[in-house]
């Protein structure tokens, strides 16, 4: 059977590190954030609808989206934020689905990294299994701060906007606990690679 594994987890949980390890085995890895970004890049499929709704004020003279201007409009306005999301999410869904259809699966399975898989239930239709990266919050905060120089308060704000650890675990088929060092994480991914390869065989 065709198997797409949805990889998700909170900020700094190790998604990119895990995705890179799957990719090192030759497993195709799609990145929902990158796909979403493309939709609003030059000539992106979301631009006409964004212009129709927010007008020229959120575009540069060159025709490129002025992300800062759009962010400013939706940042403090829940209704506008929701409007932008309902415009983007179906396009992201379709773009991921199209990418899946065009991707060969040499090991029988592929991975889609979808940070918001818990927050946006409809995206779960794109995958047959969900792999959740789980990290205790103090360690998660420490790793995010090490990487990005964010303050405790800034990290706490981001984490408060995301699903909780419990909510993520509730949708998991498989849980990878990222409490060890990088070599332990790689070993765990290597084992999952064997598992998903076996699972996807007819």
Which residue ranges make up the annotated binding site for ATP? 12-17
- Residue of 133, 172, 108 lying closest to 15 (CA atoms): 133
Give how many residues touch ligand ATP by CB under 6 A: 16
Q: Which long-range contacts (CB under 8 A, 24 or more apart) does 135-140 make?
A: 135/9, 135/10, 135/12, 135/13, 135/14, 135/177, 135/178, 135/179, 136/165, 136/179, 137/165, 139/179, 140/10, 140/11, 140/12, 140/13
- Nearest distance from C-beta of residue 164 to ligand ATP, angstroms: 15
**Distance separating alpha carbons of residues 7 and 175, to the nearest angstrom:** 10
x-or-dash string of contact with ligand ATP, 88-127, rule CB under 6 A: ---------------------------x------------
Choosing from 7, 13, 36, 132, the residue that interacts with ligand ATP (CB under 6 A) is: 13
- Residue of 32, 28, 11, 9 lying closest to 113 (CA atoms): 32
Pick the piece of the chain touching ligand ATP (CB under 6 A) from 10-18, 45-53, 66-74, 191-199. 10-18
**Distance separating alpha carbons of residues 180 and 108, to the nearest angstrom:** 29
Of residues 134 through 163, those in contact with ligand ATP by CB under 6 A are 143, 147
Pick the piece of the chain touching ligand ATP (CB under 6 A) from 7-15, 52-60, 64-72, 90-98. 7-15
When asked if residue 14 is in the footprint of ligand ATP (CB under 6 A), the reply is yes
Choosing from 6, 9, 28, 110, the residue that interacts with ligand ATP (CB under 6 A) is: 9
List contacts with ligand ATP (CB under 6 A).
9, 11-17, 115, 143, 147, 178, 180-182, 185
């Amino acid at each position: 059977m065709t198997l797409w594994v949805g990889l998700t987890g909170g900020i700094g949980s190790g998604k990119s590190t895990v995705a890179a390890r799957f990719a090192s085995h030759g497993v195709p890895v799609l990145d929902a954030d990158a796909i979403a970004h493309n939709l609003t890049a030059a000539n992106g499929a979301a631009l006409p609808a964004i212009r129709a709704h927010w007008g020229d004020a959120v575009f540069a003279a060159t025709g490129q989206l002025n992300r800062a201007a759009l962010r400013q409009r939706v940042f403090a306005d829940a209704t506008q934020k929701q409007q932008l999301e309902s415009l983007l999410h179906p396009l992201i869904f379709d773009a991921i689905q199209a990418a899946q259809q065009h991707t060969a699966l040499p090991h029988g399975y592929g991975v889609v990294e979808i940070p918001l898989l818990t927050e946006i239930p409809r995206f779960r239709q794109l995958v047959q299994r969900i792999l959740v990266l789980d990290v205790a919050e103090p360690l998660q905060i420490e790793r995010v701060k090490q990487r990005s120089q964010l303050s405790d308060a800034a990290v706490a704000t981001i984490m408060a906007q995301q699903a909780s650890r419990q909510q993520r675990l509730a949708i998991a088929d498989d849980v990878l606990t990222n409490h060890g060092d990088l070599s332990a994480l790689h070993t765990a991914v290597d084992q999952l690679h064997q598992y998903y390869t076996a699972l996807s065989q007819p």
